[in-house]
Structure 1
Amino acid sequence: MIDFRHQTFLQLCRIKNYTKTASKLHITQPTVTQHIQYLENHYGVKLFNYSGKNLEITGAGKKLYKYTERMVADSQEIKKLIREKSDIQKIKFGATLSIGEFVMPEILNQVMQEKPVLNFDMLVENTETLLNKLKAGEINFALLEGFFDKSKFGYQLFSKEEFIGICSPGFKHSQQKIKLEDLLDSRLILREYGSGTREILEQILYTNNLSKKSFANTLEIGNLNAIKELVAKNRGISFIYRAAVKRELENNIISDLKINNFNIKREFNFVYLKNSVFEDQYYKYFKLFNSYRK
């Protein structure tokens, strides 16, 4: 169980305002001050300083925030395990859209057949949302396709996946050798902000001195199946992991764009809280999932 004063500290770090923190926690502002003063005396360090009217976290405060956040997540997992009366192991994890829809279903199918005592609950969300839920202790680990700060999380490389451009078989440049710039007069269909696929595409465009604004038209959609359907109907082009369109490519519903010097592979990573007391346990799940990855 995490000390209530640490909970106050976490909220103040996030809100950076004593009055709003007190309101959030339904306590008085002097009580917030007392909680912080207690922790500063306990650890013998200053946790916050004012820069003008802005409240800033000190270096020591940032360290305490990192460790406290991890303790909260581990504490929630410990409480769940202690209350569990069944032999069934319940594991809640997250996956980004491409992984959750097109990689994990087959893996989970095999795992459940061979390991019936494992009960998995998979949350499919974008990278940013999953990282926040991981830090809050709402999920045990996550499988991410996007970028994340590797200095702040524990992780294992799950696989490297090919990132491709896709179009309708009836698209004017289908099966042609083209430059990336040849696509700029097309409608670009892309994922919502915060998704791993979107971040990767924006980075690729940036390294080629381009952006989504370079295209004649853009359309943002948060559903991969909707994106694939629009591409198949020649309503635009998109960029996606090959694993997410494997069946469509095999059945000639969608074609991959033959873009010069576009040999892109990106990591799928198994991510968890660094130095969690459950790190060894999570690593076992990583090994289990990876053993079924084709």
Structure 2
Amino acid sequence: MILTYYPATRIFIRMEATMLDFRTETFLCAARLLNFTRAAAELNITQPAVTQHIHYLEEYYHTKLFSLRGKKLLLTEQGEHLYQALTTIRNDELRLQNELNTIAKRKKPLSMGATMTVGEFMLPVPLSRLLRSHPDRKIRLSIDNTTKLLNMLREGTLDVAMIEGRFPKEEFDFLIWKQVEFIPVCSSRHHFREEPSIISDLFPETLILRESGSGTREILEFYLKDHDCDVDCFSGIQEITNMNAIRILTEEDCGITFLYESVVRDSIRRGAIRQIPLKDFHIVHNIVFIWRKNSIFSGEYQEIFRELS
């Protein structure tokens, strides 16, 4: 038997010669769904079997992993710690299996995620440098919003991600990749009834923004919440899932928007878009490079980060 201590979880994980067995997989599913019946259905086993697996682990670790609040199933503090540690082990094992399956070809595929703004406007050039320096390096890049990328990291379908939205720091290790200015912009030919000077002066305008779960929308929503308002304060909303489409629609004077300066730099240079100067809106936001906390591949991920910086 091997005892491995995980500092972030403050517990020892006991493992035999093998990695995760069927009972820990049952626990991970039940902890994710917080429902034994649904876990049984997803795993195609009986509910008594789920209960038996959980009881085995509770005896094995000498602690309660779940509790009931009324009819609601919850993880105990120890259960939450175990869930985070086992999820990291499971994800590392998936990557290790992938590497072992491809080592004969001398390829180490890296599954990378990026939010749409990062993937479209910030990552291509540094990624091209990385690929030119390492022509044998195999990378799978997924571009999606922050919420979906975080879930993909949790599920082990991504190794690392570059995101702009908020994330739970207790689950992920991270490095700051860039600090970028987030600005309000409009078409250069847009005419305001009165030139705006504060955020509330923009409320009579149509707002073009990304879908819920995207990093740029989250930044704006948190800023508005701090000023006791929200996106519904604008006279109209156009929700667009593609950042380049938002930029073009803004150039065509279909509304105002809030974007990273790097996204609209060329449009501003061409005179198609202009920044809206507001006295009460100054945001510099971090773009972060993240991976599962305590991953055994942390050193490799940090080397990738350095090459992309």
TM-score, length-normalised on structure 1? 0.95
Equivalent residue letter for 1:13: A
CA distance in 2, matches of 1:139, 1:16: 23
Task: Identify which of 99, 111, 131 aligns with 2:118.
Answer: 99
Q: Distance in 1 between matches of 2:36 and 2:165?
A: 35
Partner of residue 279, structure 2: 260
- Hey, what's the Cα distance between the residues in 2 that align with 1:105 and 1:151? 29
In the alignment, the residues of structure 2 paired with residue 262 and residue 64 of structure 1 have an alpha-carbon distance, to the nearest angstrom, of 42
Does the 8 A contact of 2:36 with 2:47 survive in 1?
yes
Letter in 2 for 1:232: E
Distance 1:24 1:285 in 2: 36
Corresponding residue number in structure 1 for 2:225: 206
Q: Deviations over 1:176-197 (max 9, x none)?
A: 5622222111101111000010
Query: Which residue of the partner structure matches residue 132 of structure 1?
Result: 151
Identity %: 36
Name the residue aligned to 2:139: 120
CA distance in 1 between counterparts of 2:57 and 2:32 reads 17
Which residue identity does 2:32 align to in structure 1? R
Aligned residues: 290
1:16 matched to which residue of 2? 34
The DSSP-based 3-state class of the residue aligned with 1:271 is: strand
Mapped partners of 1:147, 1:280: distance in 2: 23
How big is the shift at 1:173? 4.1
Q: Aligned partners of 1:136, 1:224: CA distance in 2, in Å?
A: 26
Residue pairs, 1:25-36, within 5 angstroms: 25-36=43-54
Determine helix, strand or coil for the equivalent of 1:259: coil
Aligned counterpart for 1:245 among listed residues 252, 256, 264: 264
* Residue matched to 1:152: 171
The alignment status of 1:178 with 2:218, answered yes or no, reads no
Computed over aligned residues only, the root mean square deviation of the Cα atoms, in angstroms, reads 1.6
Deviations 1:232-260 (A, max 9, x none): 11110000111111221111121111122
CA contact (8 A) 1:202 1:212 kept: yes
- Alpha carbons 1:145, 1:266 under 8 Å: kept: yes
Alignment partner of 1:155: what SS? Answer: strand
- Equivalent residue number for residue 285 of structure 1: 304
**Equivalent of 1:67 in 80, 85, 92:** 85
Q: Which 5+ residue runs of structure 1 have no aligned equivalent?
A: none
The CA deviation at 1:145 is: 0.8
